[in-house]
Amino acid sequence: MRALWLCVWCFPLLVYADIYRWTDAQGKVHFSETPPPGAQRIEVKPQVVERDAATREREERTRRFYDARRDEQAAAQTKAVRQQAELSAQCARWQHDLNTLSLGGRYFTKGSDGERTYYSDAQIDAARRELEARLAEGCR
């Protein structure tokens, strides 16, 4: 276990080692951790890529496009969730109404004059069939 911890502790030191590259007289390229004898040291710096105004503008347009697309997708998903919730609530109301009609009894409406108008059995059956059709069509 100690050997494992020693390897883990020493690994970053090995990774940080300098690497030297040179070409010998025969044209063969060599890599090593030590420089060849009589070598001249040249510091190589990483290239910095400068972006021009057109590139920055293109990147900004791309970012705005993706932001707008992400917002559109979020709005569409929110709308779909809201519509699904509304449909679910409507289906629950239809199912409740169908269950109420299945209990039997007499159903009526009140007219503008306050008089009760009772539904006939045919009207109740028609309402039951309509609710069953709505449930079958929209509430799978």
Per residue in 39-67, pLDDT tens? 777 777 888 878 888 889 999 999 999 99
Q: How far is Cα 88 from Cα 108, in angstroms, rounded to an integer?
A: 27
Average pLDDT, the chain: 85
Mean pLDDT of 110-131: 88
* pLDDT at residue 79 greater than cutoff 60: yes
* pLDDT at residue 9 greater than cutoff 70: no
Mean pLDDT of 97-121: 86
Please state the domain extents for the chain.
2-46+53-138
Confidence of residue 17 (pLDDT cuts 50, 70, 90): low
Q: Which of 84, 129, 89, 121 is nearest to 104 (CA)?
A: 121
Element (H, E) at 112: none
CA atoms in the 13 A half-sphere facing the CB of 25? 0
